[in-house]
Amino acid sequence: MPDNSQSSTLPSNPAPEEAEAAMAANASDEMARLQGELAELKAKSADLADQFLRAKAEAENARRRAEDDVSKARKFGIESFAESLLPVCDSLDAALAIQNATAQQLREGSDATLRQLQAALERNKVQAINPAAGDKFDPHQHQAISVVPAEQEANTVVAVLQKGYVIAERVLRPALVTVAAAK
């Protein structure tokens, strides 16, 4: 009996045509896989480019909207302040329209108009700086016009010549004061 085990363990040598066909089939499969991968990457690249352009356009729109908001805030930011001053103007117009006003009427009208003005300033966060005599001199809120000899402690306010004003903790105008000199 012939030994067949030997023939099954020997490697079979394919014919050169078969090997070439197998290599061509492998190359064709590899080419198809690479082309599929390339198409997938091109689609992903196009999608990312589209997302980038949309994000860039959205950022540009947000920048433009912010610029418009800032422009409108600058243009109309004083609107509420101006509206609160209109009653003051109306009161002054009414006072000037009275032909034969007495001194008492003028005084009462001036007091009422001043109260309206002060209320308008308070509504808009404008507050007076009016230190009392004896208060410590604060160079951030007061401007010393002169230093005078006084019976009070040195570097304290003796008199206020003109009120100052602050808005939101920022000095619009310092109070003009005289200050006590050192003894």
The pLDDT of residue 28 is: 86
Structure tokens at 12: 């079979």
Distance of alpha carbon 84 from alpha carbon 147, whole angstroms = 39
Per-residue pLDDT of the chain (183 residues), as tens digits, is: 455 544 444 456 667 788 787 888 888 888 999 999 999 999 999 999 999 999 999 999 999 999 999 999 888 888 889 999 999 999 999 888 888 989 999 999 999 999 999 999 999 999 999 999 999 999 999 999 999 999 999 999 999 999 999 998 899 999 999 999 987
Partnered with residue 126 across adjacent β-strands are: 167
In order, the DSSP letters of 142-181 are: EEEEEEE--SS-TTBEEEEEE-EEEETTEEEEPEEEEEEP
Give 89-130 pLDDT, tens digit per residue: 999 998 888 889 899 999 999 999 999 999 999 999 999 999
The pLDDT of residue 14 is: 66
Structure pTM? 0.60
Distance of alpha carbon 176 from alpha carbon 162, whole angstroms = 5
